[in-house]
Amino acid sequence: AMAAVAMIEPGQTVIIDDGSTAGGIAAHLAELRPLTVITNNLAVIQELSGLSGITLIALGGHYSKKFHGFFGLIAEETLRSLRADVAFLSSSAIYGAAAF
């Protein structure tokens, strides 16, 4: 998580996905304020909500208890309209050039 945090500069917009690895970054973001954080990860939303200097954009959609995140058309359409400087995305498998 610390190597990932080293890529972030104050004032940037950061996307963090629903993965537990990407979610581990959230605990270190307070020291980089101000930031805008875009996420579908419930743990990240809970970690960062209410912190001054953090603009939090929570992607809506259908909540998945299994993945502790929000998914579906609402999340996709919202994300399509946003831009970020850095994105932290995790995958469970890599096959050739594809990540799943």
User: Residue 14: what pLDDT?
Assistant: 98
List the beta bridge partners of residue 99: 94
User: Residue 2: what pLDDT?
Assistant: 84
- The pTM assigned to this predicted structure is 0.90
Pick the CATH number of 9-66+84-90 from 3.40.50.11610, 3.30.479.30, 3.40.50.10470, 2.40.170.20: 3.40.50.10470
Question: Any idea where the domains of the chain sit in the sequence?
Answer: 9-66+84-90
- Say how far apart CA 52 and CA 48 lie, in whole Å: 9
User: Residue 96: what pLDDT?
Assistant: 84
* Residue 38: DSSP 8-state: E
pLDDT over threshold 90, residue 63: yes
- Say how far apart CA 49 and CA 36 lie, in whole Å: 12
Average pLDDT, the chain: 92
pLDDT-derived band at 88 (thresholds 50, 70, 90) equals: very high
* Residue 41: DSSP 8-state: B
